[in-house]
Structure 1
Amino acid sequence: MTWSEAEYLDHLRSERRAYAWVMRRHGGLTAADAERAALEAYPYGPADAPYRWLVFHDEAWHWAMLTIHGDRYWAHHPELARPTEEYRARE
């Protein structure tokens, strides 16, 4: 599947928003710190970067939980194994 640059940018913005939301809500970061964390977690990948889509193979919830709780967070916090309804309803 080939996505346009506009589709990539839309997806990147969406995942950054979701990641920042989790980092504020579950990670206790301020809005500014959460935005910075989202930019670090989801940097722009140039169109010719071979794996720029790889970060999207799991949703922002998963990447944020790994950052907050570490590897195997789902084993230690089974209630966080799947995104919460609050997360799903945020938009």
Structure 2
Amino acid sequence: MTWSEAQYLDCLQSERRAYAWVMEHHGGLSPAEAREAALRCYPYEPVDAPYRGLVFHDEAWHWAMLAIHGDRYVVEHPELVHPSPDYEALE
């Protein structure tokens, strides 16, 4: 997918915000720690970077749950497979 810079930045900001929310509300991080975690998970990628934005193929909920509970979260915490209504309300 070819994105304009504005589209990429909008998506990046949205995913960072959602990831930080999950890390704060489900991961127990402070707001500052959650924002820092989101920046690490969603760094800015230059326009010419191969696979730019590939992280967007799964939503922030998934990446945050992996960080909090590990790659078996879908088995060990099936109630977390789908985003919560509060998370969905972020959009």
Asked if these proteins are the same fold (TM beyond 0.5), I'd say: yes
Partner of 2:28: 28
Q: Size of the alignment, in residue pairs?
A: 91
Runs of 4+ in 1 over 2 A off after TM superposition: none
Match of 2:53 in 1: 53
* Pairs within 5 Å for 1:8-87: 8-87=8-87
Structure 2 unaligned regions, length at least 5: none
- Quote the RMSD (CA, aligned, Å): 0.7
TM superposition score normalised by structure 2: 0.97
TM-score (norm 1): 0.97
Identity %: 71
Q: Counterpart of 1:19 in 2: which secondary structure?
A: helix
Q: For residue 52 of structure 1, report the CA deviation from its aligned partner.
A: 1.4
